[in-house]
Amino acid sequence: MSYVVLARKYRPQFFRDVVGQPHVTKTLLNGILQQRLAHAYLLSGPRGVGKTTTARILARAVNCLTPEQGEPCGRCDRCAAALDGRAMDVLEIDAASNNSVDDIRELRNAVNYAPIEGRAKVYIVDEVHMLSKPAFNALLKTLEEPPSHAYFCLATTNPQSVPQTILSRCQRFDFRRVSAGEIAGHLRLILSKEAIPFDDAALDIIARKADGSIRDSLSLLDQVIAFSGGTALRQDAVDVAGDLRLDLHFRALGLIESHSLADAFLLDEELAKLGVDPQDYIIGMEEQIILLLQIKGVGVDRTDIPMDLKADYLHVVEKISEAELVRALQLCAAAEIDVRRNFNPRVRLQLLLVKLASLERSVQLTELIERLGRATSAPTPTPAPPKPPVSPTGITGSAQPAPKPTPAPQNPAPTPAAPPFVPTPAGADGDQLRKAQDEWERICRRLAEKHNSRANLIRFGGYPMGYANGVLRINFMSSSHLEAGRALGGALRDEYSPALGPVQFDFQLGPIPSTADDKPPEEDPAVKLLMDKLGARLVQ
Ligand SMILES: [Zn+2]
């Protein structure tokens, strides 16, 4: 018998089996039971979290001959046909490869014919944001007057790219990244059913590496089992998933407290010896710092940190201030961008570790500069004047200007901080951008009251950087920030609409005005340290 991959074998067949999306499945079940289904749904969210799976369950539920409390029975002819992919009334379209207006016109013509076997025709359009503009227009006509037998499930990883006209015709479900705890629980269930020996440390490594995606976690688990020959133990997981050992990250964070340059180089040597990929390591650092900030924000019990690690995290949290963590996160994000551009990854990692070891000194230095600026500018306590443009990376000398904002204070004041100064173009678009920047801090704070950690993340790690033709470009300093921004896209649009009117977003990875990386390189304390202590020279 051939091996069936776990992701396929354990693909949820019922709403109740979908992991981590109860806000979606409950609403759909109620809709079915009360016969109040919408004719169009937008299922948005990251990859591998169950969007298409949920759409397929819905397709079976509306055509099942003997539904059980809204769930498809899974046994009748209709269910069986759908499960085998033979159902004539369930049509799946991959918009990535069928994105032309002709493809959608075909759909428009077919949609008016009554269902062939079942009660309803269900169209599942995957990656709907990939449709061309004319195709969207054609689809819109269908969504405006859908025949009563037709249901549309539009799935997308990028809802920002779906036109507002389409969005307003859909009931929207935002699927969320599944927490590491939920993923580990799901894997535990499957391994018990399969009678495969496992330990919790392995599940934790896989769950974290899967980064919110159930599908990725299952394919990783498959790899681990295949590699080990039938177990899922910690060492198996480490060998396959390349465990980024927590202690290696904690040691880097320890540099913030120890200020030990020697430790920084020792750690770097060890990472090199272990063959740790700089990019993986830096992304892992970002995740850990975000977790630590989360602990500071909402407490350890509201994170999905495994029980046995909570004490370790709390230990680290006690020693590092929020300002230091935010600063460390900015350093990691800048390093990640450089490493992605392949600017000598090994050296970037080395520099990052050295910068962490000299972090307090640099925080103090920026505070000192700030205080000096305040003392010389005016007798009244007004915000520091905008500083002249300098390079955002601090190492290259030619990148676009991104002046330095006021540094994050050690104890954030209750009044909103002055927004960072960013040059804006003249004219109406410039006005819009300025408005967007003026509102940023306030909007993030307000969102933070509703969505807490994500909004705090984008408040520190994102900033509006451009506006043209009704599209506001917001830069994010790392992929985690970008993801948080995307997840908050709808809420951001609502918050911005009073100030900007209808607005679309272009979310990008890119530089934002940061607190220190934009000084000339020789003023950077870390670089100075390298120059002073090691005789390093700047090579432009
Ligand atoms: Zn059935």
Is 373 part of any domain? no
**374 pLDDT above the threshold of 80:** no
Tokens at residue 326, please? 């935010």
Distance CA 402, CA 422 (A): 6
Say if CB 282 and CB 335 are below 8 A apart: yes
**108 pLDDT above the threshold of 50:** yes
SS (H, E, C) 8-32: HHCCCCCHHHCCCCHHHHHHHHHHH
Q: Provide the 10 A C-beta neighbour count for residue 449.
A: 8
**51 pLDDT above the threshold of 60:** yes
Q: Are residues 197 and 215 in the same domain?
A: yes
How do residues 109-168 score in pLDDT, each as one tens digit? 888 888 988 889 999 999 999 998 989 998 999 999 899 999 999 999 999 899 999 999
Question: Looking at residue 25, what is its pLDDT?
Answer: 96
What is the Å distance from ligand 1's center to 45 Cα?
28
What mean pLDDT comes out for the span 465-484?
A: 86
What is the Å distance from ligand 1's center to 66 Cα?
5
Considering only 115-129, 208-222, 350-364, which range has the smallest mean pLDDT? Answer: 350-364
Question: Looking at residue 499, what is its pLDDT?
Answer: 86
Return the half-sphere exposure (C-beta side, CA atoms, 13 A cut-off) of residue 18. 25
Question: Looking at residue 337, what is its pLDDT?
Answer: 87
Is 384 part of any domain? no
Question: Looking at residue 329, what is its pLDDT?
Answer: 92
Question: Looking at residue 212, what is its pLDDT?
Answer: 85
What is the Å distance from ligand 1's center to 115 Cα?
16
In this prediction, what percent of the chain has a pLDDT beyond 90? Answer: 37
Residue whose pair of structure tokens reads 């000339």 in the numeric block: 520
Is 531 part of any domain? no
In this prediction, what percent of the chain has a pLDDT beyond 70? Answer: 81
Q: Are residues 94 and 31 in the same domain?
A: yes
Local confidence band at 376 (pLDDT 50, 70, 90 cut-offs): low
Residues 6+ apart with CB under 8 A from 224: 202, 206, 232, 236, 237, 240, 241
Helix, strand, coil % in the chain, rounded to nearest 5: 55, 10, 35
How do residues 301-316 score in pLDDT, each as one tens digit? 887 776 767 888 898 8
Considering only 168-182, 225-239, 358-372, 381-395, which range has the smallest mean pLDDT? Answer: 381-395
Last residue of a domain, one of 311, 331, 357: 357
Q: Are residues 121 and 165 in the same domain?
A: yes
Q: Are residues 31 and 142 in the same domain?
A: yes
Distance CA 286, CA 457 (A): 11
Residues 6+ apart with CB under 8 A from 489: 159, 160, 505, 507
What mean pLDDT comes out for the span 188-205?
A: 92
Q: Are residues 196 and 253 in the same domain?
A: no
Amino acid at 476: F
Q: Are residues 121 and 186 in the same domain?
A: no
Distance CA 178, CA 188 (A): 15
What is the Å distance from ligand 1's center to 78 Cα?
6
Distance CA 204, CA 120 (A): 42
CATH number at residue 472: 3.30.300.180
Q: Are residues 20 and 86 in the same domain?
A: yes
Distance CA 517, CA 509 (A): 16
Instruction: Give the closest residue to 29 by CA, choosing from 18, 20, 37.
Output: 37
Local confidence band at 390 (pLDDT 50, 70, 90 cut-offs): very low
Last residue of a domain, one of 174, 202, 221: 174
How do residues 60-86 score in pLDDT, each as one tens digit? 999 999 999 999 999 999 999 999 988
What is the Å distance from ligand 1's center to 498 Cα?
47
Return the half-sphere exposure (C-beta side, CA atoms, 13 A cut-off) of residue 490. 16
Considering only 44-48, 339-343, 347-351, 527-531, which range has the smallest mean pLDDT? Answer: 527-531
Tokens at residue 56, please? 């397929």
Of 111 and 198, more confident: 198
Is 365 part of any domain? no
Local confidence band at 322 (pLDDT 50, 70, 90 cut-offs): confident
What is the Å distance from ligand 1's center to 62 Cα?
9
Is 522 part of any domain? no
Q: Are residues 270 and 235 in the same domain?
A: no
**Ion ligand 1 — residues with CB < 5 Å:** 64, 72-73, 76, 79
Question: Looking at residue 282, what is its pLDDT?
Answer: 92
> Based on the structure, what is the number of domains in the chain?
4
**275 pLDDT above the threshold of 50:** yes
DSSP 476: E
Distance CA 313, CA 294 (A): 11
Question: Looking at residue 366, what is its pLDDT?
Answer: 59
Q: 147: burial class by Cβ within 10 Å (0-12, 13-18, 19+)? A: middle
Q: 365 - beta bridge partners? A: none
**99 pLDDT above the threshold of 60:** yes
Number of H helices, E strands in the chain: 23, 8
What is the Å distance from ligand 1's center to 80 Cα?
7
Is 408 part of any domain? no
Say if CB 54 and CB 215 are below 8 A apart: no
Tokens at residue 253, please? 């964070």
206 φ, ψ (degrees, to nearest 5): -65, -45
What is the Å distance from ligand 1's center to 396 Cα?
63
pTM over 0.75: no
What is the Å distance from ligand 1's center to 128 Cα?
28
Say if CB 401 and CB 423 are below 8 A apart: yes
Question: Looking at residue 377, what is its pLDDT?
Answer: 56
**539 pLDDT above the threshold of 80:** no
CA angle 263, 266, 270 (to 5 degrees): 135
Q: Round the average pLDDT of the chain to a whole number and report it.
A: 81
Q: Are residues 298 and 327 in the same domain?
A: yes
Question: Looking at residue 109, what is its pLDDT?
Answer: 84
Question: Looking at residue 344, what is its pLDDT?
Answer: 83
What is the Å distance from ligand 1's center to 76 Cα?
4
**244 pLDDT above the threshold of 70:** no
SS3 163: coil
Q: Are residues 30 and 121 in the same domain?
A: yes
Say if CB 223 and CB 240 are below 8 A apart: yes
Last residue of a domain, one of 218, 241, 264: 241
Is 231 part of any domain? yes
Distance CA 289, CA 26 (A): 34
What is the Å distance from ligand 1's center to 513 Cα?
56
Is 370 part of any domain? no
What is the Å distance from ligand 1's center to 176 Cα?
28
How far, in whole angstroms, is CA 344 from its chain's centroid?
26
Best-predicted range by mean pLDDT among 32-46, 401-415, 468-482? 32-46
Question: Looking at residue 515, what is its pLDDT?
Answer: 44
**411 pLDDT above the threshold of 80:** no
CATH number at residue 205: 1.10.8.60
Tokens at residue 48, please? 């591998």
Domain that holds residue 435: 428-513
CATH number at residue 71: 3.40.50.300
> Element (H or E) spanning 375, and its range?
helix 359-377
Q: Are residues 79 and 210 in the same domain?
A: no
Q: Are residues 266 and 198 in the same domain?
A: no
